[in-house]
Structure 1
């Protein structure tokens, strides 16, 4: 991983919680499982041992990945932003689909935090890329898999 990447304060906290769980719960659990499997004798045909070692490799890899992400993270607190109503990373944007009149609310977040079901979209998504730099009242066109959609930005908040 090279260079800084943006992440919200909430996203960084979720990574810290995951890292803590991996180090204090998962790692000791897999070490105990390896010790238990070793006590069964011959390791050459010990499926429990092989599975525990594989799990250990996964956990250690994930710990390294999460530590790397936190080390390279540029943590942004949306509540402290002052972008004068402009859509920026971390902003929560209310949109109206010009054709259907349906409104949606999205927060623009980092890749690891995105979850469309909870209204969090990645800053690298087509919708977010179209929105960044725009203001409330602006109209944007977004190329989606279903074709071009036009949205009007109703509101921009930093929460």
Structure 2
């Protein structure tokens, strides 16, 4: 391995190979190439509880709080998470083709304007103790509404018809 970026914490060391794979070496000296960080609570507490999982799906390290991991290891974990996660945040609902499902929604997200098909009312779920919603489209892409009551009046009326 050449051109490694190596970080050491008290429980494990983390490095990135020149091929872009994360390599974890635990306190016992065991090496795991191709580890992947997985959030335990991706929406409610995205920085609390991150598992580093080997290629065979077994947890090889646990991070209680990402903020407590020293830099630049924290940056390596955050960068790896960003490449794996895709959850656009809905900022405004522009239109819906129908108030019965399936229907097509046109929305403005933090990643641009898009359209998706909502298969059924059950694909809109309340999450957390706040006013967040998770909306799944027909292709399984998850859209996040951080606070349904912070949306504009039109968007709130649309959501009210489906909730």
TM interval, shorter chain, is under 0.3
> Which has more strand, going by share of residues?
2
Could you say which structure has the larger radius of gyration?
1
Normalized against structure 1, the TM-score is what? 0.23
Normalized against structure 2, the TM-score is what? 0.22
Between 1 and 2, higher relative CO (CA 8 Å, sep ≥ 6) is seen in 1
